[in-house]
Structure 1
Amino acid sequence: MFKLFSSKFKKPSYGWSGNYSNWNDLTDSIGGYSEVSILDKTRDALLQVKNGTAIYERDSVLFDKIEHPFPLLTCLFKSAALLQRPLHIIDFGGSLGSTYFQTKRMAGPAICASWNIVEQEHYVTAGKEHFEDDHLKFYSSIEACMQVQKPDLVLLSGSVQYLPEPHLFLKKLAAYNFDFLIFDRTAFHQGKQDRLTLQIVPPEIYKAAYPSWFFQEDNFLNHFTDNYNKICEFPSYVEGEAVLSIDQQPTGYNKGFYFVNKSKHA
């Protein structure tokens, strides 16, 4: 569910705006991700994918053709090859399985031994009711997943920029010492500091607005320099996300990184 959208119009009624100093002040008047309607729309769309009546879903919208995220798939294949076995994956902020269903045809059981989604409680409840099986699981925290599973890789696709205190999370994430980390569709900008914006979702997706960070890239990467090697970086696979406009200025961009643990894979 944690995804990005870009504007193609000069004066959009949606997109990113502002440069806010306080997360809590910004959230006072907006519903954000707790909106039940967002969950319902995502659930209904993904149930069609699960049941075979639709091909592909992204951000609750159905498509007639899968858009394969080849950089992400390459990182998954490389990780499985390094371990010489299938991966146990945590998909942090993975909705009800959007990326799981998107990649399962290319990265089946030979690559992914289990796919474990960490999400908000209401998503976990819906996931367990409608989507969970022997391979796809749902948890309310990384710690809850680790009590059941021993994850090798954490995937964070368009999710970190929607956390109220992302750098505290990133510091904690690095300290877990997982074998592999993949960031995909993560928002950065050209400024010297992180920038907190208000994102308004295009109305054809759903009606919602929420805080959204744009990171300063060097500060973001500093969390991982001690424990991880950055193997590669890559642009978003989604058309229109290579450049993101803030206040109608093309100062943001969307990209991903693949990190491999130094101590485990020299």
Structure 2
Amino acid sequence: MSFFKKKANKPGYGWFGHYRSWDEATSLSDGYEQGNILEKTKQALLLVKNGEAVYERDSVIFSESEYPYPLLAFLLNEVQQRKRAVNVLDFGGSLGSTYFQVREFLGPDVCASWNIIEQHHYIDCGKKFFQDETLQFYYTIADCLKEKQIDFVVLSSVVQYLPNPHQFLDELVAHGFDTILVDRTAFVNEGPDRITVQRVWPSVYEASYPAWFFDQRGFVAHFNADYRLQASFESYVPGEAVMEIDHKPIAYSRGFCFKRRK
């Protein structure tokens, strides 16, 4: 497959292909379950947790803070409207990447709990090394809802890595959460959804896995009946406003805040 070849003067890393199915893309990649990804992420976030590093994203340590300002703005607005601290559900939140990125803003009057749903081996690790009174880890949304009522949902760079994203979005909407914040989600400039394989730069970690690029109208349509679109915004991560597939700038990353209709 051309996925494994390098174009002239172009690196062999990024997003490639236009596959017929998730299974086909999976067969040509390593997958998300590799132990090296979890281990590198754990070590990086332990440094952040212990105050030895400032910020982590995708297992990479940064020397300066980089804040997701749209998320913070909508979260703080939620707190202001409710006049109390809120319970956050961070689906696909790794070992607390976003939580540690914004924790200096999450006093007890802002965040009652930050609850992460992830792959089972991430949850096992999170419970052992990172869980505390505020940061909690659950295997499923249902497990979390047995213990607390969620006010604010965060989906940051996660939906495009699910095998059945449209089914997931329908199930999420059915829960009736008041606010859903979608961030760093990948879309194609035109055309239908596209399944690619992402080859990660070795400086991050050695890995490759399937990834969706969505048709924006089809993605937002999942929310139209029960939610209003409060705002849309560009990714806060440099370089994601324009994304390349097969080294062509035909995609982008975007975020949305949806509020449930009363």
TM-score with structure 1 setting the length: 0.94
Instruction: Output the CA distance in 2 between the equivalents of 1:222 and 1:40.
Output: 37
Aligned counterparts, 1:157-196, within 5 A: 157-196=156-195
Give the structure 2 partner of residue 120 of structure 1.
119
Residue by residue over 1:13-64, the C-alpha shift from the partner in whole angstroms, topping out at 9 and shown as x without a partner, is 1001111111112212422210101100000010011111111111101111
- 1:199-238 → structure 2 map (5 Å cutoff): 199-238=198-237
Amino acid paired to 1:22: S
Does residue 53 of structure 1 match 2:43? no
Asked if structure 2 preserves the Cα contact closer than 8 Å seen for 1:18 and 1:246, the reply is yes
What code does the residue aligned with 1:59 have?
Answer: D
Paired residue secondary structure (2:109): coil
Equivalent runs, 1:58-207 vs 2, <5 Å: 58-207=57-206
> 1: distance between equivalents of 2:107 and 2:240?
27
CA distance in 1 between counterparts of 2:115 and 2:191 reads 35
8 Å contact 1:190–1:251 — kept in the other structure? yes
Question: SS of 2:66's equivalent?
Answer: coil
Matched residues in 1 for 2:83 and 2:222: separation? 27
Q: Which moved more, 1:62-71 or 1:153-162?
A: 62-71
**1:53-107 deviation line (CA, Å, top 9, x unaligned):** 1111111011111101111100101111222211101100000000000011123
Q: Assess if the C-alpha contact under 8 Å between 1:10 and 1:248 holds in 2.
A: no
| 1:28 paired to 2:27 | yes
Instruction: Measure, in 2, the Cα distance between the counterparts of 1:260 and 1:187.
Output: 21
Contact kept, 8 Å, 1:92 with 1:155, in 2: the verdict is yes
4+ residue segments displaced more than 3 Å: none
How many equivalent pairs are there?
Answer: 255
| Map of 2:248 onto structure 1 | 249
User: Mind listing any 5+ residue stretches in structure 1 that lack a counterpart?
Assistant: 1-8
Q: Please say if residues 29 and 197 of structure 2, whose CA atoms lie closer than 8 Å, have aligned partners that are also in contact.
A: no
1:178 deviates by 0.3
Q: Secondary structure at the match of 1:177?
A: coil
Contact (CA 8 Å) 1:88, 1:150: kept in 2 or not? yes
- Name the amino acid aligned to 1:173: L
Identity of aligned residues (%): 49
- Report the alpha carbon displacement of residue 192 of structure 1 after superposing the two structures with TM: 2.2
SS in 2 for 1:105: helix
TM-score, normalised to structure 2, is 0.95
**How many angstroms apart in 2 are the aligned matches of 1:107 and 1:51?**
17
Counterpart-to-counterpart distance in 2, 1:82 and 1:217: 29
Q: 1:187, 1:253 within 8 Å by CA — same for their partners in 2?
A: yes
Q: Distance in 2 between matches of 1:173 and 1:243?
A: 28
Deviation at 1:10, TM superposition (A): 6.0
In structure 1, C-alpha distance between the alignment counterparts of 2:58 and 2:9, rounded to whole Å: 23
- Match of residue 257 from structure 2: 258
Provide the C-alpha distance between the structure 2 equivalents of 1:36 and 1:49, rounded to a whole number of angstroms: 20
Does the C-alpha gap of structure 1 residues 175 and 10 become closer, same or farther in structure 2, counting only changes over 3 Å?
A: farther
- What is the identity, as a one-letter code, of the residue corresponding to 2:221? N
Q: Secondary structure at the match of 2:209?
A: strand
Q: Distance in 2 between matches of 1:160 and 1:49?
A: 25
Distance 1:10 1:216, change over 3 A: farther
